[in-house]
Chain A
Amino acid sequence: MSPAVAILLVGGAVAASCALLGTFLVLRRLALLGDAISHSVLPGIAIAFLLTGTRNTLPMLAGAGALGVLTVFLVEALGRSRRVREDASIGLVFPALFSIGVILVSRFAYHVDLDLDCVLYGEIAYAPWDLLTLGGRELGPRALWVSGGILLANLVLVIALYKELKLGTFDPGLAAALGFSPVLVHYVLMSAVSVTVVGSFESVGAILVVAMLVVPPAAASLLTERLSRMLVLAVLLGLASTAGGYGVARLLDCSIAGAMAAVAGLLFLIAFLFSPSQGLVARLLRRRRLRARLAGQLLMLHLRESGAPRPRADLERRFGWDPATLDRVLRRLRAEGLVAAENGGLRLTAGGGLALREAGLDQVAHRD
């Protein structure tokens, strides 16, 4: 397997896992949970080091996993107490846990280079050479097995519990009334999130995971109105970010994970600007069209009131629009045959009267 293929597969598997779970996190307003976990696992690795005395991957992963679960549990419990909202509870939990970690490392592992970057967070660039060997046989990149396994588990989870996750996210009250304990569903989802996040940290590092949990699902939410399509789109956007990011990283010789996050951001920006239904441009155009139609109707009402053709200058004075705006409005009305020129002035055509009636404006008098 060539290194590029391995990196793309590992990155794709991580991106897909994160996009699947991230969709539900985004809908549940817990988008920053990934970042919170990326900080709060520090005491986990410190404790694992103190207990085992090594910086081997397995104990680090176990410690980090335990702290990941503890983090989501604490965030959930604080939110459930109804004394602080989820966002504040995230902001309370992770600094406290991280601080405990810093104190542990500073006091008990002063002379050891024990930090998240060097013992937990993996680097996707090295994934192709970190091979899994079993009984002396090499079975391909370890990160691919880990992230592939996580992806498989997440796929099974989301497909099997799709209905429960959807109902529990949309209407927890009904879910509870129907006997689908939303608390249980929440804990299943959150455990999946912490396992996925910690496992992926170990394969590809923190920034890629945090980005893929939020950015592709958020972009997908701008492009569709269906949860199932949002999941698929989020995965696709995640894969596109992976591929594009790797290309950028090779081209510019820069961090692969960082480039993937940046490309994901670029895709989000494109969705934000150009989504056909939700995009900024579409919104602005709609708003402009609406305003133009309104202006046209105002003008037509005025022409109907006055009965006789009105000179252009009169209209200009009457509405106080600048000549360019008036030109635009008139051009459209004339092109549609609603207003016609007559005797150096403008009058409403029969079609224009019909259009006003269709718009329900036949009874409306245009007052000053």
Chain B
Amino acid sequence: MNPDATAGALPADGAEPAVEIHDLTVTYRTKPVLWDLDASLPAGHLVAIVGPNGAGKSTLLKAALGLVPRNTGWVKIFGRPYEKQRRLVGYVPQRESVDWDFPTSALDVVTMGLYGGLGWLRRPGRRERATAAACLEKVGMADFAGRQISQLSGGQQQRVFLARALAQDARLYFMDEPFAGVDATTERAILELLQTLRAEGRTVVAVHHDLQTVAGYFDHVVLLNMRLVAAGPVATTFTDENLQRTYGGRLTVLSQAAEALTRQKPFARDRAS
């Protein structure tokens, strides 16, 4: 494998990495989700995190944001711990993570992106609302500003979330599957948005599911499967050869062993009870 594509490589331009991950291990109960991960994600790029289900992609984002406890290791954002860099980071969670029946409008949700800058107690004012409206405009949702969020389609909800991230005006964005379950219009809108962000020198780290579009949408890729498999520019890492090998064989031995362990689990995925 190309040495450039291996774990821990600094970006070629030598600039300070946007995200630096060291020795990161996260387990859920006793299940390793991320294991001994070292990686460095370059600033100013669109980075796709790609990997199978359960490979720890979302967990990586959450660990970086301090939303899940880490067993070992650390994550630094532009050289400092996240807690000190909150203002530089925007987050787009998975769409299912919130209650869309909540009594609030699209504009209101976008305004929430500005709360970080306001700090405790201060309320958003006219300026914040104007900023939020501008962000909605950027994702083509200006007409829906006053709409209750449950009355939006899935793609529109996703765009509201993106507008909220825009409002955060961050240097680095973490996005959890921004393209999941959206219509073609939204997909195009998101893509344009990502490119604008890159042109402005911002960094986007997005969990991505669709292998077909990785090369078209992103310029860097992190192949994740509990451990870091490879990371680097799409051109050198996401090669035909790598993909061929990636998709080449079907796993048998381990999955059998694992299945034997985990038979009879009808509720394994239901959070509690």
Q: Direct A–B touching in the complex (beta carbon < 8 Å)?
A: yes
Chain A residues in contact with chain B, CB under 8 A?
27, 82-85, 88, 160-164, 166-167, 169-171, 173-174, 176-180, 221, 224-227, 229-230
B213-234: CB near A (< 8 Å → 1, else 0) gives 0000000000000000000000
With A173-B97, A176-B65, A180-B115 in contact, do A164 and B102 touch (Cβ < 8 Å)?
no
Residue B188, interface by CB 8 Å:
no
Let me know if A167 and B112 touch, CB within 8 A: yes
With A163-B118, A180-B120 in contact, do A170 and B102 touch (Cβ < 8 Å)?
yes
Let me know if B86 and A177 touch, CB within 8 A: yes
Instruction: Report the nearest B residue to A226, measured CB to CB.
Output: B103
Residue B271, interface by CB 8 Å:
yes
Residue B73, interface by CB 8 Å:
no
Smallest CB separation, B90 vs chain A (Å) = 9
- What is the CA–CA distance of A27 and B102 in the complex, to the nearest angstrom? 7
B104 surroundings in chain A (CB, below 8 A) = 166, 170, 225-227
A229 surroundings in chain B (CB, below 8 A) = 103
Counting chain B CB atoms within 10 Å of each CB, the highest count among A166, A169, A178 belongs to A178
List the 10 shortest-distance A-B pairs measured between CB atoms, nearest first.
A225-B148, A178-B116, A177-B91, A171-B98, A177-B65, A82-B272, A170-B102, A173-B93, A227-B103, A179-B86
Smallest CB separation, A139 vs chain B (Å) = 32
B120 surroundings in chain A (CB, below 8 A) = 164, 180
Chain B, 92-136, CB within 8 A of any chain A CB: 93, 97-99, 102-105, 108-109, 112, 115-116, 118, 120-124
- Interface of B, helix, strand, loop or mixed by DSSP: loop
A170 surroundings in chain B (CB, below 8 A) = 98-99, 102, 104, 109, 112
Let me know if A160 and B121 touch, CB within 8 A: yes
A161 surroundings in chain B (CB, below 8 A) = 121
Smallest CB separation, B255 vs chain A (Å) = 27
With A27-B102, A170-B102, A227-B104 in contact, do A179 and B116 touch (Cβ < 8 Å)?
yes
Instruction: Report the nearest B residue to A179, measured CB to CB.
Output: B86
Chain B residues in contact with chain A, CB under 8 A?
65-67, 83, 86, 89, 91, 93, 97-99, 102-105, 108-109, 112, 115-116, 118, 120-124, 148, 164, 271-273
Given contacts A173-B97, A177-B86, A178-B86, 15 further A-B contacts (CB under 8 A): A27-B102, A84-B272, A85-B273, A163-B123, A164-B115, A164-B120, A166-B112, A169-B102, A170-B99, A170-B102, A171-B112, A177-B89, A224-B103, A226-B103, A227-B103
A163 surroundings in chain B (CB, below 8 A) = 115, 118, 122-124
B93 surroundings in chain A (CB, below 8 A) = 171, 173-174
Instruction: Report the nearest B residue to A171, measured CB to CB.
Output: B98
- Interface of A, helix, strand, loop or mixed by DSSP: helix
Counting chain B CB atoms within 10 Å of each CB, the highest count among A160, A169, A171 belongs to A171
A84 surroundings in chain B (CB, below 8 A) = 272-273
Neighbour of B112 across the interface among A83, A85, A174, A176, CB < 8 A: A174
- What is the CA–CA distance of A84 and B109 in the complex, to the nearest angstrom? 30
Neighbour of A88 across the interface among B98, B99, B273, CB < 8 A: B273
- What is the CA–CA distance of A173 and B67 in the complex, to the nearest angstrom? 7
Counting chain B CB atoms within 10 Å of each CB, the highest count among A167, A170, A227 belongs to A170
Instruction: Report the nearest A residue to B119, measured CB to CB.
Output: A179
Instruction: Report the nearest A residue to B165, measured CB to CB.
Output: A174
Instruction: Report the nearest A residue to B29, measured CB to CB.
Output: A82
Instruction: Report the nearest B residue to A82, measured CB to CB.
Output: B272
B271 surroundings in chain A (CB, below 8 A) = 82
A179 surroundings in chain B (CB, below 8 A) = 83, 86, 116
B103 surroundings in chain A (CB, below 8 A) = 27, 221, 224-227, 229-230
Instruction: Report the nearest B residue to A162, measured CB to CB.
Output: B123
- What is the CA–CA distance of A37 and B112 in the complex, to the nearest angstrom? 33
Counting chain A CB atoms within 10 Å of each CB, the highest count among B86, B89, B104, B118 belongs to B104
A226 surroundings in chain B (CB, below 8 A) = 103-105, 108, 148
- What is the CA–CA distance of A224 and B148 in the complex, to the nearest angstrom? 9
A85 surroundings in chain B (CB, below 8 A) = 272-273
Smallest CB separation, A181 vs chain B (Å) = 10
Smallest CB separation, B86 vs chain A (Å) = 5
- What is the CA–CA distance of A160 and B66 in the complex, to the nearest angstrom? 26
Counting chain B CB atoms within 10 Å of each CB, the highest count among A84, A162, A179, A229 belongs to A179
With A84-B272, A160-B121 in contact, do A167 and B102 touch (Cβ < 8 Å)?
no
- What is the CA–CA distance of A83 and B93 in the complex, to the nearest angstrom? 24
Instruction: Report the nearest A residue to B117, measured CB to CB.
Output: A178
Let me know if B272 and A174 touch, CB within 8 A: no
- What is the CA–CA distance of A161 and B116 in the complex, to the nearest angstrom? 14
B124 surroundings in chain A (CB, below 8 A) = 163
Let me know if A177 and B67 touch, CB within 8 A: yes
A180 surroundings in chain B (CB, below 8 A) = 115, 120
